[in-house]
Amino acid sequence: MRITAQLIDALSDAHLWADRFDGSLEDVFELQDQVASSVAGVIEPALQAAEVSRSAYRPTSDLTAYDLYLRAYAMTLSSGARFPEALRHLEEAIARDPGYGPALAYAAVCCFRLVGDGRSEDPEVDRRKGTTFARRALEVVDDDPNILAHAALALAYFGEEIGSMMVLIDRALALNPSLARAWYISGALRVWAGQPDIAIGHLEASQRLSPRARVGASRHLIGAAHFLSRRFDKALPKLLLGIQDDPNHPTAYRYLAACYAHTGRLSEAREIVERLRAIVPAVVPNVSYLRNPEHRELLMSGLRLAMGEIT
């Protein structure tokens, strides 16, 4: 038996997505579950992308809080360098509607990225803002899986107890098991918690659910998980692909430089550090988000080796 599914924009008749599913009649219920999960997982990011594209063509003077949120989200997917601009849009949306949960939660994510990437002009201020945004989002809406996932990501990075944040992301996945973005964030939290093998499974689930639309830096995080497990040969190609996905994502460069250094490829490590310095001023990050001290030292020692070649 073959089932074909299509997603069409009813306003423009534009083709957004299509796929087919093959199976036997003996396994019809399993096939039904597979189709439902795959369709739900693909449609959510496809609809988000369509809404982002539609919003981009509206005049700025006509934007609502929703438009501002979509513009901010689109900016961050196009380049990690645009998080400062995205945060300004989100803060404007929040000023228009202080109870707008999605904008609050994603503003917290932007604050996390500003601090984590090394682009924040005042990390402590952005840390406090991000924590406040995330907590306000959870107060406003406690059953929206996207809000739960984004708040968990920001709060985990800013130091909240990692086990509690993983419970929060598990709740988001219970509400929507087909939400690719939540599986991606769950993978990120597992990397930070010192569970790299579980992280890889969750990140791969995100990729399966959303193979076409980007929902996060899955490939660089899979590379980071392999790196922290000292599987440097598996980490390198994933980290290189992660940089291709977003050449402005500093964390991917940091892991790649450390990976090259630990494998004795110091000239390549030096080149990556030089490229990193062209993106952000801070080569060495605050690695407190990694809860496992051995993982923190592995990353830091690799960066020290890489930087030692150019200092």
Query: Does 142 lie in the same domain as 72?
Result: yes
Instruction: Give, for 235, the enclosing helix (H) or strand (E).
Output: helix 232-245
Residue 189 within any structural domain of the chain:
no
Domain-terminating residue out of 177, 194, 225: 177
Asked if 245 and 211 touch (Cβ cutoff 8 Å), the reply is: no
Please write the tens of the pLDDT for every residue from 138-189: 998 878 999 999 999 999 999 999 999 999 999 999 999 989 999 999 999 9
* This model's pTM is above 0.85: no
Q: Which residues make Cβ contacts (< 8 Å) with residue 9, sequence separation at least 6?
A: 16, 50
Residue 282 within any structural domain of the chain:
yes
Phi, psi of 18 (to 5 degrees): -155, 150
Total domains in the chain come to: 3
| DSSP string computed for 42-96 | HHHHHHHHHHHHHHHTS-GGG--HHHHHHHHHHHHHH-GGGHHHHHHHHHHHHHH
Is a pLDDT exceeding 70 seen at residue 56? no
Q: Which residues pair with 21 in a beta bridge?
A: 3
Q: How far apart are CA 285 and CA 282, in angstroms?
A: 7
Q: Which residues make Cβ contacts (< 8 Å) with residue 62, sequence separation at least 6?
A: none
Tally: H helices and E strands in the chain:
14, 2
CA 207, 213, 219 angle in degrees (round to 5)?
40
Domain range for 48 is 1-55
pLDDT, greater one: 266 or 62:
266
Residue keyed to tokens 């093998």:
197
Please write the tens of the pLDDT for every residue from 5-52: 777 766 666 666 677 777 776 776 676 777 776 666 666 665 665 555
Instruction: Give, for 7, the enclosing helix (H) or strand (E).
Output: strand 2-8
Please write the tens of the pLDDT for every residue from 204-260: 999 988 876 677 789 999 999 999 999 999 999 999 999 998 898 999 999 999 999
pLDDT, greater one: 108 or 66:
108
Query: Does 308 lie in the same domain as 227?
Result: yes
Query: Does 299 lie in the same domain as 242?
Result: yes
Q: How far apart are CA 195 and CA 189, in angstroms?
A: 9
Please write the tens of the pLDDT for every residue from 110-143: 999 999 999 999 999 999 999 999 999 999 887 8
Residue 185 within any structural domain of the chain:
no
Residue 195 within any structural domain of the chain:
no
Encoded tokens for 242 = 């992660």
